[in-house]
Amino acid sequence: MIGRLNHVAIAVPDLEAAAAQYRDMLGANVGAPQEEPDHGVTVVFIELPNTKIELLYPLGEDSPINGFLEKNPSGGIHHVCYEVDDIHAASKQLIEKGARVLGGGAPKIGAHGKPVLFLHPKDFNGTLIELEQV
């Protein structure tokens, strides 16, 4: 079912500093910050040759990243995102096999404008997994 690793998302406490680190210390190709008010995050994309890293910073008081940064003040890897061909088929199949899809199982439109869902990290080795239909 899963295909490419679409991205690894890293929550950071200082977006400008984190972007500068990846650009100046690690020599990566770092984009400009993009506000995603519908998702409560500001994102910086780091383009690697085979995938991308997304630096996530909270936008607004209801940001889904706030709780993570409270628990992990230095930041940390927030989730991995795997691509799927058909998000509805993936959701149905995963629920049938006993996985918990967050938010009731219905895919939503994610930060890239594509249908996504998230799987409960307790079902997957403490790892928050996003699936994105590409």
**Binding site residues, its own copies, CB under 8 A:** 1-5, 8, 10-13, 18, 21, 24-28, 48-51, 53, 55, 72, 74-77, 80, 82, 94, 97-99, 121-127
Residue 108 or 122 having the CB closest to its own copies: 122
Which residue in this structure is represented by tokens 């409270």? 70
Which residue in this structure is represented by tokens 């009731």? 104
What is the token pair recorded at 41? 């995050």
State the pairing for strand pair 41-47/76-84. unpaired
Contact 53, 46 (CB under 8 A): yes
Q: Give the shortest CB-113-to-its own copies separation in angstroms.
A: 21
Q: Give the shortest CB-41-to-its own copies separation in angstroms.
A: 15
* Chain CA centroid to CA 133, Å: 14
Residue 113 or 125 having the CB closest to its own copies: 125
130 assigned to active site: yes
Catalytic residue list: 130
